[in-house]
Structure formats: C-alpha cells, structure tokens
Structure 1
Amino acid sequence: MSLTLGSLTVPTPVVLAPMAGITNAAYRRLCAEQGAGLYVCEMITSRGLVEGDETTRRMLVFDEAEQVRSVQLYGTDPVYVGKAAEILCAEYGVAHIDLNFGCPVPKVTRKGGGGALPWKRGLLGAILEHAVAAAAPYDVPVTMKTRKGLDDDHLTFLDAGRIAEEAGCAAIALHGRTVAQAYSGEADWDAIGELVDHVDIPVLGNGDIWEAADALRMVEHTGVAGVVVGRGCLGRPWLFRDLADAFAGRETRTLPTLGEVVVMMRRHAELLVEHMGEERGCKEFRKHVSWYLKGFSAGGRLRHSLALVDSLAALDALLAELDPTEPFPVAELGSPRGRQGSPRARVALPEGWLDDTDGLDSCVREESVEITGG
C-alpha cells in the first residue's frame, strides 16, 4: 500500500507529523532509516521565510540523505503564504508542502491562526489557492492539516475538506480532535471516516496511533489513504519500521532491549551533533531522554545526569551504566506519549471571530511561534 500525493508517491502511507523542536533534520533521518514514509520538517512561518528571518531559514536544513523534502507552512495571509510556497519550491527544492490549520496553542488561535483559521472559510480558500498556484509550476503537491473544528458546537472539517478539494489540494489530513480538546481525550476516528466519504481527494488520519496495529485499524475503520504519526514516535523511531512492515503485510512489533534502545539513542545524538555541533546537539538531545527511557528502570540520578549531558563522551559514559539486557516494558505499549493535558473551557479567539465565516479581512500578523503540527 502506497500513498499518492499529486506527483509524489510515498512507498509507505505514513507521514511523520511536524513537531517543533523535534522533527529537525537529524530526527527525520533517524526515522527514515527505520521505514519508508514521508518525513515533514519542523513548521515554519510564511512571513518569516518571505522576510528572510534567519531563525526561519536555519530551520530549513535537510540531511544529505533526505531525498524527498517536505515542509509544513504556517500562515494567515494568502499573499505571504503564496510567496513562501514559491520560495520553498524554487530555492529549497521541496517536493511537498503542507499547510498548518490544526495548531491548538492559545497564542496561535488567539490571533486567528492554526486551528482557528478554518472557521473563516473565505480566508482558508484564499490561502490554499495562493499556495497551490505558487507550487503548481514546480509540480509540487500542496496538502493541508486541520482539526474537527473549534469545539463540538463549531465544527469545520467537512467544509475544510470541500474547500481544500476545490482549491486543488492533493490531500487533507484530519486530526480527530477539536481545538478545545487540544491533545486530551480520544481522537474521533468516526469524524475522519466521515471526511473520507465527503471528499474525493485522499484523506490522511491523525490521532491515537501509538502502535502499528493502530494504523491498520484506522485504515480499516475510516478508509483513509494514509496516517499521520506524531507523539507516538517520541522516543520510539523504530515505530516507523513496524508501520512499514504492517502496511507491507508483515506482522512485526519491535520490542527492543534497553541495549538496543541505547544504540538508537546514541545514533540520534550522533546525528544531532553532526548537524548542530556537539554542544548544541547534546542540548537538543536532552529532551528525548525521558521518552526513550519511559518504562525502563533507569534510576533517577542517571536520568537526571542524562538530561544534562553536554558531550558525546559524557553520553557514552552514562549510557554504559544502563543494563543492556533489560527487556522492553511491554506495559507501555499502546499508551499515550508526549503531551496530553486537559480540554479547554473555551478556545482563545480574536474578538468577534465567530461573527462571520468569510474572514478575507481577517489576516493577522504572523509571529515566529513554536507550535506543533496540530
């Protein structure tokens, strides 16, 4: 089973969701070494790219082994999004552009961005049309990611699917939660299936894929053309190996010993250092330690020391203290990883945001915010 996005064919219908501070070039390569999917760069702001912001440009780093470059754009202004899409195609050689309309972070929705924007149907359509038109001369497919809606009383996903199809998008990804839910509760796979029945373009499903078997269940339950994996792969890049095997009809469930996890941790740190230098690469690695060791019996002192590691030599010394024969904690299988939190009583929105659903005059200035793929 493969995934077709316009001119792009992905051998395995699995997409790594962009996550701020996570899906940099090093992590994308690490995941790609495990399975053949589509690995999306950290999200960048269209205005930052167009205006030549150095921080934004530095995020657009690709590994030498990265054959298919995929980037997620955040934007609220159709003109800026279009210009940014053209820059990505002409200057960075990207093969796929995804647009973020799913972020639930209050500082983003408060300005009408992320998961708030699909409420403004006119604005959503204009942004998508500008992006598709800019990417068309380069034969680069444009997709979008969204959520069910603001909350259960303000659903937008069916309209968003129709607008995406009319604008010429190659696919739409739906996270089966509302903005108000953020990452709490359970994803609504029925809504994803409803969107599949509503549009003719491919639909990708996102939400609660913790194991390869979950991806197969989602495909069977909803009829999606592929899946998007975010938090489920934190500290478990081998999940993409399991996913590739599952979609190829092979029953595989990787249960690495702690020694095998240590090898993966060392490879991850090595790639970070290769791209960022030793000091910064080791600092970036620190956030991954707790995810890799989740469920293992590593003591608090050792975990604390690993979370402060500042060199590969120090990392090697600390990893050597772990018991390589300790089996994988099977109790962790199928359990949520990363952020969860609680649902929000209300979604932070610009004043009067719900008054109309057009929004062509609602463009707001974008900020360089660190947000996930939604």
Structure 2
Amino acid sequence: MPTATLPDRLVLGDVEVDTPVVLAPMAGVTNAAFRQLCAEQGAGLYVCEMITSRGIVEGDRTSLSMLTFAPNEKIRSVQLYGVDPRTVGEAVRILCDAHGVDHVDLNFGCPVPKVTRKGGGAALPWKATLLGQILTEAVEAARPYGVPVTMKTRKGIDDDHLTFLDAGRIAEDTGCAAIALHGRTASQHYSGRADWSSIGELKAAVSSIPVLGNGDIWEASDAVAMVEQTGCDGVVVGRGCLGRPWLFRDLAAAFSGRTVQELPTLGEVMHVMRRHAELLGDWLGEERGCVEFRKHVAWYLKGFRAGSRVRENLGKVSSYAALDALLAELDPSEPYPVSELGTPRGRQGSPKRVHLPDGWLDSRELAGSVDAAAEDATSGG
C-alpha cells in the first residue's frame, strides 16, 4: 500500500515528535549519552533502555539509575516490560508521577529463551486476555497525567502462531497511542529478512492509531521504502544506528524531503567517537565512560582500514588521552566504506526454536499467572 507523501511527524496522543523516527531501546547501548549523541544529529523519539516494572515498583537502584535523561531530550520516553497487570500499572503511575516521564512504551518482543520459557517477552501476546489486561492497566494509570502508552511486538511466536493482528486490535481497544511491529517472529530472533508485508497488513487492519515499522532499516532509504511499501506512520530503528548515530541526521533529512548529506570521512567518524566517549564520561566519569565506550569501537570502525593493533588498543582505552593518541594514528581522509552501506549490523544469529512453558500453545487464555521470573531485564524485540 504505497503512500503519496512521507509523514513529517509522529503524533502519540498529546505528544508530537518532529520526525516520525523512534530509537529502539538496546540494552547497554541506548543510555543517556548515546541518546544525546543521536539527538544531536537529528530529531526523533529517543527511548531509554528497557526497565522492568517490578524494578520500578520495588525501587531497585539499578532500575532507577536508568531513568537518566540527556539535556536535549525534550520528550522523556521509557520502555517498560512486565507480565503482571497490576505491577505494570503501578510502575506507570510511578514513572509519570515521580519521574516526569512523557511517554511509556511496553515491550512484548523479546525472543530470549530465559524470558519466553517463563511466558514473557514475545511469548506473552499469545495470551490475548492477559495482553489486554496489561495494556488496560498501563493506559488507565497514565491517563490522569496525559501520558501516551504505546506497545511493541513481533509477528508472533512462529509462522504457525502469529499474534500481531490480534495485538493491533487489542492495542486499539485498550486505548494505546500506537503499536510498533518488528517484522520477524520470535523464532527468527534477528536472522533472515524482516517481513515488511506484515507491517502493511497491520496498518491495513489498524485504523485509529499509528502503526510503526521495525526491522532492517540500515539506511535512510530503507525507512523511506518501508513507509512507501507498507503505509506505516513511522519507523523504529535499532541495530542500524550502531556506530552510526548520524543515521538520524539522514533520516530527519529524508522525512523532510531534504537531500541526505554525504557519507562521513574517517576523520568525521573519529570526531563522533570522541564526542561519544566524552558524553559517556560526563555521565559516568572519564575512566568508566571510556571503558563503556570500548564496545562501540568495532561498530564505528566497521569496514575502515584501521589496523588490528589500533583496533585492539582502542578496545582497552581508559582515558581520553589514550583514546586521542590512538585516533591520531588513523587517516582522517579515508572515505567511508561504501561496501558497508545497507548491510546488517549487530547481532543476527540463526532461527531457533522458541522455548515456552508447558502447554502454552494449547489455549490463547492463561490459567493462573505468568511466572514472575519472566520479568527479566534482558531487552530485545
């Protein structure tokens, strides 16, 4: 279902996002420093790392420490995960009342075995009534504060157990402000290609709230193609921005009809790397920030000719001085490796059998409750 024009903004209840682009939460990546870096590149909705509802309700120190927002985040957006309706509702109230959150997203897309085998993550939407109860509690808890609640899901557990169309109906019926669909099943994990046609199906079935598409957006042109092919109202970007925060600059340009800027040279990439490390240092302190930055080095330098010694040593930096000295050994004029454009980044893996509780697929209704152990802080979707 092609669209004549690209959307130039995203409206979630009373919240308006200048560009219809959402940064997907990624554990250990989308902290306040990374979100600030991305927001410096272009407009969008930048969602913090996923937090469990139980962690919020119980005042877990680690969970609460994740509720840190950058100065340039105009919209405080949090992704929440939970399996118990009342706990999710209470967590939403706390986020709105005590932390001034402007948007809450609920994650039902994690395919990790230790989550799905307890009935959580991407397994939960199979239990349609429970999904509706969780969404209802969240929406009602957020309503007095005028905070929109959205949800993210996958196509289903596998090709024989699809849930996304039911999830779209439930999202509408419970008052969600939008639904995002990752065009893969839980059994696919991050392998193969995302099925954009399922996003188009969902958009055709859901008429009252925005539908966002997720999966295989590696370049701004992919986002444009997804919207044109599916008619979705915006896109959710995850792995495509790893080591490439300027992707949000390109996305902002594409959705506003402007020409996408030229690819950065290695020197420009090095400048972004230094800025990223500095922002992490502002948040965590120089040494810890540099240590945290190490995981990003391979993503930034993917495809460049930087030698193995420099790469290895960059993976050991613990100070700005050490980082600067190593970056000085690289050739700032080296052009961006075009061979990397449009290629997958981050985890991929292969299809896997989805681990589920005994008898989980026998009924769409739940007898009893989901094991509380399903509420694990492992994010994904």
Whether TM exceeds 0.5 here: the answer is yes
Structure 2: distance between partners of 1:3 and 1:172: 12
Structure 1 position 160 matched with structure 2 position 167: yes
Structure 1 position 70 matched with structure 2 position 62: no
Which position in structure 1 is the counterpart of 2:212? 204
Superposed displacement of residue 356, structure 1:
1.4
Which position in structure 1 is the counterpart of 2:15? 8
Structure 1: distance between partners of 2:58 and 2:236: 30
Which position in structure 2 is the counterpart of 1:120? 127
Which position in structure 2 is the counterpart of 1:37? 44
After superposition, residues 354-369 of structure 1 pair within 5 angstroms as 354-359=361-366, 361-366=368-373, 369=376
Structure 2 counterpart SS, 1:42? coil
TM-score, normalization by structure 1 = 0.98
Superposed displacement of residue 361, structure 1:
2.2
List alignment gaps of at least 5 residues for structure 1: none
After superposition, residues 1-374 of structure 1 pair within 5 angstroms as 1-200=8-207, 201-344=209-352, 346-359=353-366, 361-366=368-373, 369-374=376-381
Superposed displacement of residue 58, structure 1:
0.9
Given that 2:83 and 2:375 are in contact with CA atoms closer than 8 Å, whether structure 1 keeps it comes out as no
Farther-moved stretch of structure 1 (107-116 vs 323-332)? 107-116
Given that 1:132 and 1:169 are in contact with CA atoms closer than 8 Å, whether structure 2 keeps it comes out as yes
C-alpha distance after superposition, 1:323-352 (max 9, x if no partner): 1010000010000000000001x2011111
Superposed displacement of residue 221, structure 1:
0.3
Structure 2 counterpart SS, 1:197? helix
Structure 1: distance between partners of 2:62 and 2:166: 34
Which position in structure 1 is the counterpart of 2:4? none
Amino acid at match of 1:324: P
Structure 2: distance between partners of 1:185 and 1:172: 23
Structure 1: distance between partners of 2:141 and 2:334: 52
Indicate how the Cα distance of structure 1 residues 4 and 169 shifts in structure 2: closer, same or farther if over 3 A, else same: same
Structure 1: distance between partners of 2:78 and 2:226: 25
Structure 2 counterpart SS, 1:334? coil
Superposed displacement of residue 366, structure 1:
4.2
Given that 2:110 and 2:122 are in contact with CA atoms closer than 8 Å, whether structure 1 keeps it comes out as yes
Structure 1: distance between partners of 2:262 and 2:223: 15
Given that 1:48 and 1:368 are in contact with CA atoms closer than 8 Å, whether structure 2 keeps it comes out as no
Superposed displacement of residue 64, structure 1:
2.3
Given that 2:265 and 2:335 are in contact with CA atoms closer than 8 Å, whether structure 1 keeps it comes out as yes
Farther-moved stretch of structure 1 (364-373 vs 142-151)? 364-373
Given that 1:18 and 1:41 are in contact with CA atoms closer than 8 Å, whether structure 2 keeps it comes out as yes
Indicate how the Cα distance of structure 1 residues 148 and 367 shifts in structure 2: closer, same or farther if over 3 A, else same: closer
Structure 1: distance between partners of 2:244 and 2:321: 23
Given that 2:213 and 2:226 are in contact with CA atoms closer than 8 Å, whether structure 1 keeps it comes out as yes
C-alpha distance after superposition, 1:229-288 (max 9, x if no partner): 000000000000000000000121441000000000000000000001112211110000
Superposed displacement of residue 362, structure 1:
2.6
Structure 1: distance between partners of 2:213 and 2:262: 23
Structure 1: distance between partners of 2:87 and 2:330: 50
Given that 1:242 and 1:254 are in contact with CA atoms closer than 8 Å, whether structure 2 keeps it comes out as no
Structure 2: distance between partners of 1:317 and 1:165: 54
Indicate how the Cα distance of structure 1 residues 125 and 73 shifts in structure 2: closer, same or farther if over 3 A, else same: same
C-alpha distance after superposition, 1:21-50 (max 9, x if no partner): 000000000000001100000000000110
Aligned CA RMSD, in angstroms, stands at 1.0
Given that 2:10 and 2:18 are in contact with CA atoms closer than 8 Å, whether structure 1 keeps it comes out as yes
C-alpha distance after superposition, 1:178-230 (max 9, x if no partner): 00000000000000000000012110000000000100000000000000000
Given that 2:51 and 2:80 are in contact with CA atoms closer than 8 Å, whether structure 1 keeps it comes out as yes
Superposed displacement of residue 63, structure 1:
1.4
C-alpha distance after superposition, 1:129-179 (max 9, x if no partner): 000000000000000000000000000000000001101000000000000
Amino acid at match of 1:125: G
List alignment gaps of at least 5 residues for structure 2: 1-7
C-alpha distance after superposition, 1:300-330 (max 9, x if no partner): 1110100111111111111111110100000
Indicate how the Cα distance of structure 1 residues 203 and 49 shifts in structure 2: closer, same or farther if over 3 A, else same: same
Given that 1:132 and 1:142 are in contact with CA atoms closer than 8 Å, whether structure 2 keeps it comes out as yes
